[in-house]
Chains A and B, each alone.
Chain A
Amino acid sequence: MTHDEIRESIPGYALHALAPEEVRDVEAHLADCAECRRELAVFEEAASTLAAGFEPHEPPAMLRRQVLDAVRPRGRAVRLGRGWATALAAAAAVIIALAGIAVSLEQRLTALATRTASEAQALALLADPASRVVTLSGSAAGSVRFVFDPATGRGALVATGLRDPGPDLVYQLWLVAGAAPRSAGVFRPTSGTPVIVAVGADFPRYQAVAISIEHGPSGATRPSASPVLVGKLGGG
């Protein structure tokens, strides 16, 4: 398509009113046309004022936790050591390993706090007689249990003996309600030690927990394959 033809479709592009083929053409052209990029900025700003037209609604508080958890999935996987000393030593080793990676000190401290909190949560749940335990079963080998307290909304997945899913792949935990599974974090197995993934949710809303294998490091927004393990929660 010519510059003039593309230019005519810039308002439609800003309104997300183009068919996928046209989107590709426009984006290819935008990459090397400064004039069209300037036009697009004008139309995108005008289009975005229409967003204020929708009736305002506050999203549920739980969504915040899901979104924030999803961007820090690795901080939530815990190696269960023999008591706190081992856990702290492991955490210290993780911090040293992270030192070479360009992440902020703030993130490292947050990850450590999240790890400690996840471990404490799992231990408290395992000790609490009100907690319920579900064993996940399916095609993957390993011992995987989900422990949760429906009253407080706290839960944790405890997994041992899972095989390495393969390079660049992760296990992803899902909470299933109807046809809309929610991600509850991703993890990779560690040989010899259990993995814990802390999960906070309104468990009576969900029928099951499931695990699928997805591309790492952050997993998928919805399951791309059938689950390898499933456990019924009975809610929903």
Chain B
Amino acid sequence: MRGRTVSFLNAENDEALLARVAEADAAAFEVLYARYSRPAYSVALGMLRDVVRAQEVTQDVFLAIWRGAREFDPARGSARTWILSVAHHKSVDAVRRSRRSPTVPLSDTMTGDVDVIEEAQARVDAGHVRRALEVLSVEQRAALVLAYYGGYTQQEIAQRLGVPLGTIKTRMRDGLLRLRNILPARAPETAR
């Protein structure tokens, strides 16, 4: 009976599974774990570079999904986007906790512009994402890479690059809008 239940759930889309998880359906949660543990763990490991901490963060991510599934609103985006956003958010929080102090300016933690951007950019492994980022202007790419892969705040990025905060906000906005036209929402690397 259980086998039939699981195979039935396997045919459900992510949004339907999340709706079940919101009703505390552990079997649906198990199917979501099977679909998203790899992409979520890859985000955490890529950000933290530490297997043990990446596992902790991944566990936090799935507990947040279990507890927060009710907050997911399909009108506001796909389940996939929501889950990957939770994974990135928890990973960024963990990266910030691990830096000595969240208020240490980026300029005090790194030796040069190139180092800090390159370090964040080194986390981009997938060729299609690399290529998409190369389509952006250097400035847009630096802002997005430092924010998403580096885990820095927009204030830290503005300080580090010595440009006004408003400029960084604009670069992030324009960069994301351009990416949206280049990258498919469901990328092959994390599709399972």
User: Which A residues are within 8 Å of any B CB, using their own CB?
Assistant: 8-12, 14-19, 37, 40-60, 63-64, 66-68, 70-72, 103-104, 106-107, 109-110, 177-178, 180, 182, 218, 221-222
> How many residues of chain B have a CB within 8 Å of chain A?
78
CA distance A66 to B60 in the complex (A): 11
The reply to whether B42 and A54 contact each other, CB–CB distance below 8 Å, is: yes
CA distance A67 to B56 in the complex (A): 10
Sample of 16 more A-B contacts, CB < 8 Å, known A48-B81, A48-B88: A15-B176, A16-B88, A40-B76, A42-B177, A46-B177, A51-B190, A52-B39, A52-B126, A52-B190, A53-B133, A54-B42, A55-B125, A67-B62, A71-B63, A106-B25, A107-B25
- Given A55-B46, A180-B53; A50-B172 close (CB under 8 Å): no
The reply to whether A67 and B179 contact each other, CB–CB distance below 8 Å, is: no
Measured between beta carbons, the chain A residues less than 8 angstroms from B177 are 42, 46
The reply to whether B37 and A45 contact each other, CB–CB distance below 8 Å, is: no
The reply to whether A106 and B5 contact each other, CB–CB distance below 8 Å, is: yes
CA distance A42 to B180 in the complex (A): 8
User: Does more than half of chain A's interface fall in helix, strand or loop, or is it mixed?
Assistant: helix
User: Does more than half of chain B's interface fall in helix, strand or loop, or is it mixed?
Assistant: helix
CA distance A115 to B130 in the complex (A): 49
Measured between beta carbons, the chain B residues less than 8 angstroms from A106 are 2, 5, 25, 27
CA distance A9 to B129 in the complex (A): 24
Contact mask B24-47 → A, CB, 8 Å, 1/0?
111101100100011111110111
What is the minimal beta-carbon distance from B29 to any residue of chain A, in angstroms? 6
- Given A16-B88, A17-B153, A55-B42; A71-B66 close (CB under 8 Å): yes
Contact mask B145-168 → A, CB, 8 Å, 1/0?
001110111110100000000100
CA distance A19 to B30 in the complex (A): 33
